[in-house]
Amino acid sequence: WKELGRVVKKGSKALMMSMPVTVKAKADAKPEGDAQDGGKDKASHTLFIARRNWFALHQTEPLEGAEPHDLEAKAPATWNPAHALAALGITREDFQSSDGNCQGYALPESRRVAVSPLAVEPIKTLCHELAHCLLHSEQGRIEDGPELTRSLAEVEAESVAYLCCAVLSCGNLEASRGYIQHWMQDASAEQITEKHARRIMGAADKILKAGRAAPAEAEV
**130-176 per-position pLDDT tens digit:** 999 999 987 655 655 544 457 889 999 999 999 999 999 998 999 99
Residue 44 is which amino acid?
A: S
Residues 6 or more apart whose CB falls under 8 angstroms from that of 59 comprise: 8, 9, 12
Cα separation, 13 vs 218, whole angstroms: 47
pTM confidence score = 0.69
Q: Which of 159, 163, 156 is nearest to 137 (CA)?
A: 156
pLDDT at 44 exceeding the cut of 90: no
Domain boundaries of the chain, sorted by first residue = 2-58, 69-212
86-145 residue pLDDT tens: 999 999 998 888 777 889 999 999 999 999 888 889 999 999 999 999 999 876 556 555
Mean pLDDT, the chain, whole residue set: 80
**pLDDT at residue 210 in the model:** 97
Residue 7 is which amino acid?
A: V
